[in-house]
Structure 1
Amino acid sequence: MMDYINAFWVGGLICALVQILMEKTKLMPGRIMVILVCSGAVLGAVGIYQPFMDFAGAGASVPLLGFGNLLWKGVKEAIETDGFIGIFMGGFTSSAVGISAALVFSYLASLVFKPKMKE
């Protein structure tokens, strides 16, 4: 039960901090997303993100910080197995399933609902 509570409050805290960042700065959402992914990769490289994920579970692995950490893990493993070329392959290999699922489910949602263009 405590795993669910930790995931809920940590994920909520991350979302609240990002919302504050969006409202208090003039940063565009795309730049904030890049900051989150890069921060997750840096925290993973330094070794801080894995203990954080062990504590928070899905609350830390689902947000964009977790995606950056996933990319870092993939690059690190690919470098160990494939050498220099792993720098370019690792991120794609580790995130391919998640990105593919997002594309497929987005397409299915567009079939079920009527998407509208912003005016």
Structure 2
Amino acid sequence: MTDIIKAFVTGGIICVIAQLLIDYTKITPARIMVIFVVSGVILGVLGIYPAIVEFGGAGATIPLTGFGNTLAKGVMKAVNETGLVGVLTGGVKAAAAGISSAITFGYIMAIVSKPKLK
């Protein structure tokens, strides 16, 4: 039960940061998403994000910062294994399951629901 609470608090803090950026800055939501992915990469490279993941579990791995961290880990692993080519392939290999899931479930929801254009 404490793992669920830790995940909820961690994910909630990340969402609060995003909401504060939306409410109190003129940064567009698209740029905020980019900021979160890049923040995950930077925190992962610096070794800070793994500690956040250890504490928050899915609350830290599911948001965009977790995606950035996954990309960074994949690139670092691939560079160690294959050299400079790993910069181009490592992130995509590490995040392939998440990317594939997002595309698959997005497609299914587009078929099942009746989206309305604005």
Instruction: Please indicate, yes or no, whether the TM-score normalized by the shorter chain is above 0.5.
Output: yes
Deviation at 1:17, TM superposition (A): 1.3
Report the counterpart of residue 55 of structure 2 in structure 1.
55
**Whole-Å Cα distance in 2 between the matches of residues 9 and 84 of structure 1?**
38
Deviation at 1:13, TM superposition (A): 1.3
> For 2:11, what is the secondary structure of its paired residue?
helix
Report the counterpart of residue 27 of structure 2 in structure 1.
27
Report the counterpart of residue 11 of structure 1 in structure 2.
11
Deviation at 1:69, TM superposition (A): 0.1
Deviation at 1:116, TM superposition (A): 1.4
Tell me the TM-score normalized by structure 1: 0.96
Mapping for residues 39-54 of structure 1, pairs under 5 Å: 39-54=39-54
User: 1:55 is aligned with what amino acid?
Assistant: F
User: 2:107 is aligned with what amino acid?
Assistant: Y
Deviation at 1:65, TM superposition (A): 0.5
> For 2:13, what is the secondary structure of its paired residue?
helix
**Whole-Å Cα distance in 1 between the matches of residues 117 and 75 of structure 2?**
37
Q: How many residue pairs are counted as aligned between the two chains?
A: 118
Deviation string for 1:66-104 (max 9, x for gaps)?
A: 000000000000001000010111111111111111011
User: 1:21 is aligned with what amino acid?
Assistant: L
- What percent identity do the matched residue pairs reach? 50
**Whole-Å Cα distance in 2 between the matches of residues 9 and 51 of structure 1?**
15
Deviation at 1:10, TM superposition (A): 1.1
Report the counterpart of residue 94 of structure 2 in structure 1.
94
Q: Are 1:72 and 2:46 counterparts?
A: no
Mapping for residues 79-118 of structure 1, pairs under 5 Å: 79-118=79-118
Deviation at 1:22, TM superposition (A): 0.7
> For 2:26, what is the secondary structure of its paired residue?
coil
- Runs of 5+ consecutive residues of structure 1 not aligned to the other structure: none
> For 1:90, what is the secondary structure of its paired residue?
helix
